[in-house]
Chains A and B, each alone.
Chain A
Amino acid sequence: MMLELIVLLLAGGVVAWQSERFNPNLPRWIAMATVILGMLLLLSTISGIPADTFNMVTEPSKAENWLLYSRHEWIPRFGISLELGMDGLSLLMLILTLALGAIAIVSSWNEIEFKPGLFQANLLWTLTGVIGVFLALDLFLFFLFWEVMLIPMYLLIAIWGHENRGYAAMKFFIFTQVSGLLMLLSIIVLAVQGAGDGDISFSYGDLLGSAPTGKAGMLTMLGFFLAFTVKLPGFPFHTWLPDAHTQAPTAGSVLLAGILLKTGAYGLLRFCIPLFPEASMQFAPIAMTLGTVGIIYGAVLAFAQSDFKRLVAYSSVSHMGFVLLGLYAWNSLALQGAIMQMVAHGVSTAALFMMAGALQHRLHTRDMNRMGGLWYNAPRMGACAMFFAVASLGLPGMGNFVAEFLVLAGLFAVSPWMTAAAAIGLITAAIYSLWLMQKTFQGKPDEERKLQDFDRREMGAMVIMMAALLWLGLYPQPVFDLTQPVLEGLQPLIVNVPETLAGNIPGGTP
């Protein structure tokens, strides 16, 4: 199924690309159909898996404990195989990817006039790469998908982006590519020294527990950490993000914020920490400090922006700081919080970027000083913006609140001071989110302005995302149930976990 899903999206891209010859409206329908087909394929496969498999603790080195697992020989010279595996975490990420992929297509439904076929193709190819990242278990394969998803994303920004697209696309590519090369180096070092005198292997299961110790282990770990933190993005490697987000077309921003950033968090959780337990725990204080600084720094910068998209971009830096904190606190509570943050932030930021795109499409500006009082002109947009702004500031009842609360609760056991500092982020989030609302939708309306309100298509997308956030906020248990076995499999890999209150999520699975 997993290979089929990847091939489906890849082929869908080619078909969408070529279909523009017949009708410029065709590509978006084909892209939509491809994503929906992918979703159906995924759901039908899941429904075929016996229910108790979902409760089985995933031990990464045992193939039979994955929900789905497949392996084909590829380059035997280096022990590289097409090894794909899906567990609860990957499944959650796949659902998020496909759902946000559909949202991205909807959000750019009428926006693209230049070469719509190639645009949709690049969207689908980006999704292909991301799905590959979430499924790959062979580190070589993982790296391949990691890099390959950059190219369609680069083209999305470079071709369909806004005024300064060349610079932004280049910066995005160079940041991720150079850090990626460092990761490739680390992967090879890990494989070569993990092999010893035996056969070399890039398989995740084989490499677990084979990390070098001491200084070498730390350096190797840093290669992974850098690549993932650049993508996350963590402070101080975030500088590509505001540019890329601001210049990308709406669909590109949605994908970038909603999914691509999550590949960084996923990489940390799946690869960086489990592969290097010792080095990671030594490094945890620094990583958590970076996370805390990122939360506050991102929030302060977000408040200073006058560009709608830039503000949202910096708020992403702030929110992803919580993910970094949660991951390195490494207890159930914090980890569940981090995963929840990945999902909730994906949805809420995607919605905000869609809003920004819709505004830019209508007003031809992203400058908030030239907005104001838009609620009067477009009440539906105003209501949606309000909803997602308060979701982003972490209002109880939404997914983001659950996420940030869990991270802080888990973190408190590890480092109370860090928790106190990070909690400032909740306040600053309220400031910049409400500031955003005041500058754009409230204030004195311009009655001359003709602003077309959200139509049925856009409202549909918004309502779906609202429902998702509410569901995550009010009944998050299914997400916890899905990922708990994965975490139970990963956690024992690190022996000397910092002092924790530990324990399961209240009311979670035993």
Chain B
Amino acid sequence: MNEFVAIAPLLMLALGATAVMLQIAFLRSVRLTAVVATVSLLLASASCFYANDTAPLQVGALLQADTYSLLFCILFTLAGAVTCVLSLDYIQHHGDEPEEYFLLLILATLGACVLAYAVHLASLLLGLELLSVSLYALIAYPNRSLLPLEAAIKYLVLSGAASATLLFGFALLYATTGTLHFSELGTALEQSDMGAALPMAGAAMILAGLAFKLSAVPFHLWTPDVYDGAPAPISGFLASVGKAAVFVVLLRLFLEANLFRYERLVELTGLMAILSMLAGNLLALQQTNIKRMLAYSSIAHIGYLLIVFMVCLDLSNRDIAIEAAAFYLIAYTATTLAAFGLLTLINEKRVEREQVQLQHVSGLFWRQPVLAGLMLVALLSLAGIPLTAGFIGKFYIFSAAVSGSNWILLAALIIGSGISIYYYLRVVFYMTKHAEEHKDAIELSPGWSGKALSCLLIASILVLGIMPQSLIAVLGSIL
């Protein structure tokens, strides 16, 4: 019985998916579907607190319920709920039969939550595919323009290749150790007398496959096109939940199977971190399309996050590294949702091609102060300015890297942050342009739900930035 309690969030999401499916079968109504989906996501989120009473608990061979997984379940389900609310007006204008969109969204969230729970390569694959397959469909959902379809195909093909690499990696590990369970892998690798070459190759392939999903350089080439083509709320979901879930499971795999034993491999993550920070930021500099800019900036943020792997090399710094990663993921998710939320609200009624060039937001401050405030807070948080969640996240990463004496990574982090200020502030500058300068700008009038959500997101970013104590206390308890 306890096992069921421990995976209550997963069960709630599955129930929610079923309920939405049934509801669509009997009565087609977007609003109702959206409400059912949002409620089930929120219920799943609430059930995490209930499940926490039984944690830590191993459920079957595949899943592990502990504070770590539950914390991220809360994050993913809340992010899913936010995406639901954001999508409601958007998808009505963009898709012909918009109800199933919400079904897919629940399934994608379920996949992300499974990844948070996963302690077994099988559940890792299950969660990952559930997430990815739902995302293929979600990206292609708006059927009135070509761009989303192109993006979906691109993502499908490349993601398929990544999954294949991942599976090959699993096979190699299994060949050496005969197990797929994370911690058993760890013990088996310890005793394995086959030498390090084969399992290390396996681990490297897993890393490559997951790095593709994370869009770390050099596996990032798909990112800007897919983000640009996908519907704005889905780009947000992909950039936040899609990446956070993969990062969560990657970190858990490395920790429990102690893949940190392969120093070369960890150094590779360090190299990826540096390349992502520099390339992501430099490429973002070139963009005038805000969606593409955010895509490249998300690559850079993955670079910042990957720093923690190098820090983890030293056992005594592992605690702060994990805390740092967890805080950064939470801050980054909230911030990314906010930034893409603005793009969604701007593009609600634009069917043919989304308008996300810099000049489209010019003067936004004077026309829609709430929305511009949302964007301002999101950008400042991405840039890591104090009083926002992003700053505390960056402070955490700094502290972790200083504890581990990773000076080269820190240098790349500072250079990257310096570059990033330019393109984040450029958006702010456009938003503050005077009235006579924004002829290209667009009319928009977000509904009450959009405004309320914006306020909520602003508040959450600021609260995380000003009063992080309680979250930090929770993070302290996951170790």
A residues near B, CB below 8 A?
A: 74-78, 114-115, 140, 143-144, 147-148, 150-151, 154-155, 158-159, 166, 169-170, 173-174, 177-178, 181-182, 184-185, 188-189, 192
Chain B residues near A147: list those with CB within 8 A. Answer: 385-386, 391
In the complex, per-residue mask of B434-472: 1 if CB is within 8 Å of any chain A CB, else 0: 100000000000000000000000000000000011001
With a CB–CB cut-off of 8 A, which chain B residues contact A144? 386-387
Docked Cα-Cα span, A495 to B386, in Å, equals 36
A-B contact count (CB 8 A): 72
The answer to whether B402 touches A77, judged by C-beta atoms less than 8 angstroms apart, is no
Enumerate the 7 nearest inter-chain pairs by beta-carbon distance, A residue then B residue, closest first. Answer: A178-B418, A144-B386, A77-B472, A188-B402, A147-B386, A159-B432, A181-B414
Bound Cα distance A357, B436 (Å):
24
Tell me the complex Cα distance, A295–B402, Å: 37
B469: chain A residues at CB < 8 Å are 74-77
Q: Is B421 an interface residue (CB 8 A)?
A: yes
CA distance A78 to B428 in the complex (A): 32
Q: A173, B425: Cβ atoms under 8 Å? A: yes
- 8 Å CB interface, B389-409 against A: 391, 395, 398-399, 402-403
Are the C-beta atoms of A177 and B421 separated by less than 8 Å?
Answer: yes
Q: Which of A77, A151, A158, A181 contacts B380 (CB 8 A)?
A: A151
Are B403's CB and A169's CB within 8 A? no
Does B422 count as interface, using CB distance less than 8 angstroms? yes
Tell me if B417 counts as interface (CB < 8 A to partner A).
Answer: yes
Q: Is the CB of A75 within 8 A of B472?
A: yes
Asked if residues B386 and A158 are in contact (CB atoms below 8 Å), the reply is no
11 sample A-B contacts, Cβ–Cβ < 8 Å, listed by A number: A77-B476, A144-B386, A147-B391, A148-B387, A151-B380, A169-B425, A174-B418, A174-B422, A177-B383, A178-B417, A189-B402
The answer, yes or no, to whether B473 is at the interface (CB within 8 Å) is: yes
Contacts of A173 in B (CB 8 A): 421, 425
**Of the residues B386, B391, B432, B473, contact of A77 by C-beta under 8 Å:** B473
Complex contact B386–A148 (CB within 8 A): yes
State the CA gap A189–B429 with chains docked (Å): 34
In the complex, which of the residues B385, B426, B472 contacts A148, with contact meaning CB atoms closer than 8 Å?
Answer: B385
Q: Is B282 an interface residue (CB 8 A)?
A: no
Shortest beta-carbon distance, B416 to chain A, in Å? 10
Contact of B398 among A150, A169, A185 (CB under 8 A): A185
Query: Size class of B's contact patch?
Result: 20 to 34
A151 to B424, CA, bound (A): 13
Alpha-carbon distance between A170 and B473 when the two chains are bound, in angstroms = 37
Extra pairs beyond A178-B414, A181-B414 (16, CB < 8 Å): A74-B469, A78-B399, A143-B386, A144-B387, A147-B391, A154-B428, A158-B428, A159-B432, A169-B429, A170-B422, A173-B421, A173-B425, A177-B417, A178-B418, A188-B395, A188-B402
Q: Please, how many angstroms separate the alpha-carbon atoms of A308 and B410 in the complex? A: 42
Tell yes or no: B4 within 8 A of A by CB: no
Chain B residues with CB under 8 A of A75: 468-469, 472
**Closest Cβ of chain A: how far from B467's Cβ, in Å?**
8
CB of A176 to closest CB in B, whole Å:
10
Give A176's nearest chain B residue, CB to CB.
B421
What B residues does A114 contact at CB under 8 A? 434
Cβ contact of B429, chosen from A140, A166, A185, cutoff 8 A: A166
Q: How far is the CA of A392 from the CA of B336 in the complex (A)?
A: 50
Q: Hey, what's the 0/1 contact readout for B353-379 against A, CB within 8 Å counting as 1?
A: 000000000000010000000000000
Please tell me if the beta carbons of A170 and B429 are within 8 angstroms of each other in the complex. yes
Which chain B residues border A166 with CB–CB below 8 Å? Answer: 429
- If A184-B395, A192-B403 touch, whether A115 touches B414 (CB-CB below 8 Å) is no
Contacts of A181 in B (CB 8 A): 414, 417-418
Q: Which residues of B contact A188 (CB under 8 A)?
A: 395, 398-399, 402
CA distance in complex: A154, B421 (Å): 12
Assembly CA distance A174 to B438 (angstroms)? 26
Q: Which of B425, B473, B476 has most chain A Cβ within 10 Å? A: B425
Q: A75-B468, A189-B402 are in contact. Are A154 and B425 (CB under 8 A)?
A: yes
Chain A residues lying within 8 Å of B428, measured Cβ to Cβ, are 154, 158
Write out the residue numbers on chain A whose beta carbons fall within 8 Å of the beta carbon of B403.
Answer: 192
Q: Which of A143, A151, A169, A182 has the most CB of B within 10 A?
A: A151
**A182 and B472 contact, Cβ closer than 8 Å, known pairs A148-B385, A173-B425:** no
Which residue on B lies nearest to A118, using beta carbons? Answer: B365
**A182, B399: Cβ atoms closer than 8 Å:** no
Compute how far the CA of A362 lies from the CA of B418 in the bound complex, rounded to whole angstroms.
Answer: 39
By the criterion CB–CB under 8 Å, are A155 and B425 in contact? no
Task: Please indicate the chain B residues that have their CB under 8 angstroms from the CB of A177 in the complex.
Answer: 383, 385, 417-418, 421
Per the bound structure, the CA–CA distance linking A62 and B399 in Å amounts to 27
- C-alpha gap A170/B285 in the complex (Å): 14
Residues of B within 8 A of A151 (CB): 380, 385
A302 to B422, CA, bound (A): 29
- Known contacts A77-B473, A78-B399, A170-B425; A185/B432 CB under 8 A: no
Q: Which residue of A lies closest to B465 (CB)?
A: A144
> How far apart are the CA atoms of A151 and B422 in the complex, in Å?
13
Residues of B within 8 A of A143 (CB): 386
Closest residue of chain A to B418 (Cβ to Cβ) is A178
Question: A140–B395 Cα gap in the complex (Å)?
Answer: 10
- Shortest C-beta distance, A267 to chain B (Å), equals 16
The answer to whether B398 touches A184, judged by C-beta atoms less than 8 angstroms apart, is: yes
Docked-complex contact A192 and B421, CB < 8 angstroms: no
Interface centre among A77, A147, A159, A182 (most CB of B within 10 A): A77
Q: Are B473 and A185 in contact (CB under 8 A)?
A: no
Q: How far is the CA of A158 from the CA of B434 in the complex (A)?
A: 10
In whole angstroms, how far apart are the Cα atoms of A306 and B417 in the complex? 36
